[in-house]
Structure 1
Amino acid sequence: MAQDIRDLFKKDNENFREKMSEGHDLRFLNKLDKKLPEHGKPSWSWLQIAASLVLLLGFSFGVYKYFEKPMEVQVADTPIEFEEIPTKSLRDISPDLKKVEDYYLANINLELSKVKLTPDNKELINGYMSQLEALNKEYKRISLELTNSGPNELTVNALITNLKFRLNLMYRLKEQLQTLQTTDSINKRTNV
């Protein structure tokens, strides 16, 4: 009864070597093409890659926001007082320049005190005041430069020129107000 296993396998292989019917493989390939056509389906691989990238970016942003520490802002209970930087002006350089500065500042303040604000001239005065404020800021900047670099001819002349501009600005405002006042009074007389 003992049979050689190799002999059994040889006999078994001969039994299964039956021939398939004619055109069997062609029919199988046609059926396969109908069920899974090669060229009919679009390739969605690029869409899958894009979706993966969007998910990865969204996840990364979520992790970043989760671990991000909020900026802590501490508000002081008492008001902050800023120290004004001491600056030099013309009066600190010499007594003669002090007189020049005092002359211009006194005349500027005198002209400012003469200005009377009315609804008719409010817009005009506001325009001149904004120009005067710009000149004041420039004067402070030049004074700071004088403090940092020391007195020299250019900075002293720039300070004096600034004072002249401010005084001339006040004179022009005075003239404009007088012109406005005379045209208003002429208009009132002709309307009566």
Structure 2
Amino acid sequence: MKQDLREMMRNAPDEKQQLSAGHEDRFAAMLAKEFGTEKQKTKTPWIQWAVAAMLIIGLGFFGWNAINTPSIDGVEMVDADTVTEVDKQVTMADISPELKQIENFYKTSINVQLASLEFSEENQELVDGYMQRLGDLDNAYKQLSIEMAEVGPTEATLTAQIDNLKFRLELLFKLKEKLKELKNQNNEQFNSIQA
């Protein structure tokens, strides 16, 4: 007894059902009673004026800046004196994805090693010396990045940057080893005093 719904609709008599008289009027009256016919007014119209004023001021500010920024064919002009060294640097990541992976590997390893260092008053002088050397290497790395921006990437510059990162990582490993030796030495002295 399965019947196709489409077949049933085709074979059904064409009957239009009529609503009872006054149905629409009763429904409209019920809606008016339930929801009211009068539009509610806001109790604080000054908020609307304040929002409108803020919107106009904001759009005016951004429009003024857009109009008064010098540009040539849609390219923003930058005063050469305001360009900082950071703007002049080119990183290995700017050159190729492989170099980006190498740079990220070394920088992540350096940050992990720095985070795992254990500082104390006893080893502060040793740590400060190594940190000074790491700072010098970081400045040299930045200089190489600036040189790469000015001259362009060369094999010598890229090799120097990678060697700089390697040396920083090796320096941190040496520092950790020295700190471990210093800690063991202090533990041995403490144990010999107790014995």
> Could you tell me which residue of structure 2 aligns to residue 92 of structure 1?
94
* 1:150-161 matches, cutoff 5 A: 150-161=152-163
Which digits, 9 at most, give the CA deviation of each residue in 1:122-143, with x for residues without a partner? 0000000000000000000000
Unaligned 5+ segments in structure 1 are 1-80
Q: Report the Cα distance in structure 2 between the residues aligned to 1:151 and 1:83, rounded to whole angstroms.
A: 20
- Structure 1 ranges of 4+ moved more than 2 A: 81-85
- Measured in 2, the distance between the counterparts of 1:132 and 1:181 equals 22
Q: How does 1:133-172 map to 2 (within 5 A)?
A: 133-172=135-174
Q: Deviations over 1:92-124 (max 9, x none)?
A: 110000000000000100000011210111000
Task: Give, as a single letter, the amino acid of the residue that structure 2 aligns with 1:177.
Answer: L
CA distance in 2 between partners of 1:148 and 1:155 (Å): 12
**Counterpart code for 2:108:** A
Match of 1:103 among 79, 101, 105: 105
CA 1:121/1:190 → structure 2, altered by over 3 Å: closer, same or farther?
A: same
The change in CA–CA distance for 1:94 and 1:82 in structure 2 (over 3 A counts) is: closer
Name the counterpart of 2:175.
Answer: 173
Distance 1:189 1:153 in 2: 53
Task: Give the equivalent residue in structure 2 for 1:115.
Answer: 117
Cα RMSD (Å): 1.4
Deviation at 1:85, TM superposition (A): 3.5
TM-score of the two chains, using structure 2 as the length reference:
0.56
Q: Percent same amino acid among aligned pairs? A: 38
2:51 equivalent in structure 1: none
- Any idea what the Cα deviations from partners look like across 1:58-98, whole Å, max 9, x if unmatched? xxxxxxxxxxxxxxxxxxxxxxx984432101111100000
1:62 aligns with none
Shift in CA distance, 156/82, structure 1 to aligned 2, threshold 3 Å: closer
User: What is the distance in 2 between the residues matched to 1:117 and 1:171?
Assistant: 15
Distance 1:191 1:82 in 2: 61
**Corresponding letter in the other structure for 1:158:** A
Name the SS of the counterpart of 2:98 in structure 1: helix
Q: Which amino acid is 1:122 matched to? A: Q
- Does the 8 Å contact 2:85/2:146 carry over to 1? no
- Spell out, residue by residue over 1:23-72, the C-alpha distance to the aligned partner (whole angstroms, 9 max, x if none): xxxxxxxxxxxxxxxxxxxxxxxxxxxxxxxxxxxxxxxxxxxxxxxxxx
Taking the aligned partners of 1:122 and 1:153, their CA distance within structure 2 comes to: 38
Q: Distance in 2 between matches of 1:82 and 1:187?
A: 55
TM-score (norm 1): 0.56
Q: Distance in 2 between matches of 1:97 and 1:184?
A: 42
Once residues 185 and 116 of structure 1 are traced to their aligned partners in structure 2, the CA distance between those partners, rounded to angstroms, is 15
